[in-house]
Amino acid sequence: MSLFKDPDFTDLVDSDERTFLTGILFSTYSELNSRDNLLKATWNAGFFDLFCAQNGSCINLFGCSSRDITVIQKNLLVISNSLLNKLKNTKIPDEIYGDPVKMFEYEEKEEKEAKTSHGVEDLRQKMRARDGKLKAEDFLS
């Protein structure tokens, strides 16, 4: 990996500095590329509004083709699309609306059918209807 001291890419960093700087660069890259930071960037920097307005041609936000965008730009588009789908398909509670990480992680609780038990009275009614006899399926309902 080559690191340069100048914007013209002519003055190489020496090997001692390169070892030190490489760790810092990879750490920063990893932090910038984290899911939570990408969510915050898309939501808080106004990017999400522009992303939504592009209506399917979001690559135009960067003014280049898909093969020319950076990994961070690609990840920003992917996470923005995921967040948009979450907002379209999920009822986000007011308490967390506006916090992109919490909205992204939110999952609606599934509504389960209430298991209604009528208790012993239900069985007594069935027994009366059948002259005091119950069937196995009577205990299942």
**82 or 133: whose pLDDT is higher?**
82
Q: Please give the model's pTM, rounded to 2 decimal places.
A: 0.65
pLDDT at 114: 55
d(CA 92, CA 78): 20
DSSP 3-state of 28: helix
DSSP 3-state of 92: coil
Q: What kind and span of H or E run contains 51?
A: helix 47-53
Burial of 139 (0-12, 13-18, 19+ CB in 10 A): exposed
N-to-C CA span, the chain: 70
Residue 113 clears pLDDT 60, i.e. is over it: no
